[in-house]
Amino acid sequence: MQVLDDSILMKVIKPRPQESFKGTFGKILLVGGNHQFGGAIIMATTAAVYSGAGLVTVATDKINAGPLRSRLPEAMVIDFDDQEAVKNMVEKVNTVVVGPGLGEESESRAVLDNVFSHTQPDQAVVIDGSAITMIAKQHIQLPKGHLIFTPHQMEWQRLSGIKISDQVEAANREKVDQLGGIVVLKKHHSEIYTADNTYQLPNGSAAQAIGGMGDTLAGMVGGFTAQFRTNLTDAVLAATYAHSAVADQIAEDQYIVLPHQISLALPRFMKKVAEQSHDQQIGFIH
Ligand SMILES: NC(=O)C1=CN([C@@H]2O[C@H](COP(=O)(O)OP(=O)(O)OC[C@H]3O[C@@H](n4cnc5c(N)ncnc54)[C@H](OP(=O)(O)O)[C@@H]3O)[C@@H](O)[C@H]2O)[C@@H](O)CC1
Ligand SMILES: Nc1ncnc2c1ncn2[C@@H]1O[C@H](COP(=O)(O)OP(=O)(O)O)[C@@H](O)[C@H]1O
Ligand SMILES: [Mg+2]
């Protein structure tokens, strides 16, 4: 298992080309947030917007539309029960994130089926939270696309059948290869299983053990894959590393880190990385 370091950040996060517009930085659709878990999709969407995705749309329960717009006017909102609107949007974007706060009711299942039947082979599809649990419990066929699963240990147990105590690299690898996608197994020092390697986070801490932390990661993975499209695997690795690196900075003087604080800190964090990446490229030594 290869331990990641901050070189993955500089490899992925570069100064933005000036000849550009919002479309240059990707279009993303996030799907989730039922009547109970509106906060999850708000946190995921906040992370996608603050990580720099060019155009962000959310499909969620009607009840979340007002709170979402008032907290995050940058995001566009559609009703996740409007099958035609969701289908049209799924077909337009680079990245789909599905699952944060989606729930497991029949309405949630209908939303998931609609999304899964319209994804495209060239899209990144981030599958998190309730979507993972529904796939596992309701035996749902996987969609087209470059799949990125972001399970916590219990979600991975449900999806892979491997008990948490038996989740060692060799057993996980076998299941990942069967699934055919990237798996970010979230825990203390999360593990990232890609097609040809396994990585481990060296950073992150218990200050992150708070509801919404994974929803925020899903939104960041979405924002990075929509925006940094040269290498999908690197985008996922950089998002996962950055999530904990930002948390570590905040935890220097906070007992816990609130998930939305990571999102708010991202634009400054990414600016610093982009400057370092530029200096390194032109051979400038500090
Ligand atoms: N503000 C909001 O709207 C929020 C909405 N959310 C949304 O809620 C939905 C359900 O997601 P979920 O993760 O809360 O529930 P579930 O999938 O049943 O897993 C929990 C079970 O697994 C067990 N467990 C064992 N190991 C574990 C581990 N390492 N990490 C985590 N759990 C572990 C755990 O054990 P226990 O804690 O009981 O000991 C418990 O029995 C999902 O859509 C999510 O996006 C949340 O993000 C919160 C904020
Ligand atoms: N003790 C810990 N050390 C490091 N990271 C942690 C710790 N506890 C939780 N995390 C991180 O917090 C996130 C939790 O994800 P998840 O359980 O899906 O949260 P939620 O669904 O509530 O948003 C993951 O990124 C995980 O790696
Ligand atoms: Mg989660």
Dump pLDDT digits (tens) for 166-190: 999 999 999 999 999 999 999 999 9
Summarised one tens digit per residue, pLDDT across range 81-111 is: 999 999 999 999 999 999 999 999 999 999 9
pLDDT at site 87: 98
Could you list which residues have their CB under 5 Å from ion ligand 3?
A: 129, 214
pTM of the complete model: 0.98
Taking residues 33-37, report their average pLDDT: 98
Tell me which DSSP letter residue 116 carries: H
pLDDT at site 151: 98
CA dihedral 60, 221, 133, 172 (to 10 degrees): 170
* Three-state DSSP state, 260: helix
239: annotated binding-site residue? no
Q: How far apart are the CA of 213 and the centre of ligand 2, in A?
A: 5
Q: Does the domain made of 2-281 have the CATH classification 3.40.1190.20?
A: yes
Taking residues 238-255, report their average pLDDT: 98
| Region of 204 on the Ramachandran plot (φ > 0 left; ψ -120 to 50 alpha; else beta) | left
Tell me which DSSP letter residue 141 carries: P
pLDDT category at 241 given cuts 50, 70, 90 is very high
Q: How far apart are the CA of 19 and the centre of ligand 2, in A?
A: 38
Euclidean distance between CA atoms 61 and 186, whole angstroms: 27
Euclidean distance between CA atoms 103 and 147, whole angstroms: 20
* Residue-averaged pLDDT of the chain: 97
212 contacts 223 by C-beta, under 8 angstroms:
no
| Token representation of residue 43 | 């946190």
Euclidean distance between CA atoms 4 and 237, whole angstroms: 8
Task: Select from 152, 160, 165 the residue to mutate for testing ligand 1; criterion: most ligand atoms less than 8 Å from CB.
Answer: 152
181: annotated binding-site residue? no
Pairing of strands 124-128, 146-150: parallel
pLDDT category at 286 given cuts 50, 70, 90 is low
Q: How far apart are the CA of 151 and the centre of ligand 1, in A?
A: 10
Task: Select from 127, 152, 191 the residue to mutate for testing ligand 2; criterion: most ligand atoms less than 8 Å from CB.
Answer: 152
What residues does each domain of the chain span? 2-281
**Other beta carbons within 10 Å of 15:** 12
pLDDT at site 284: 67
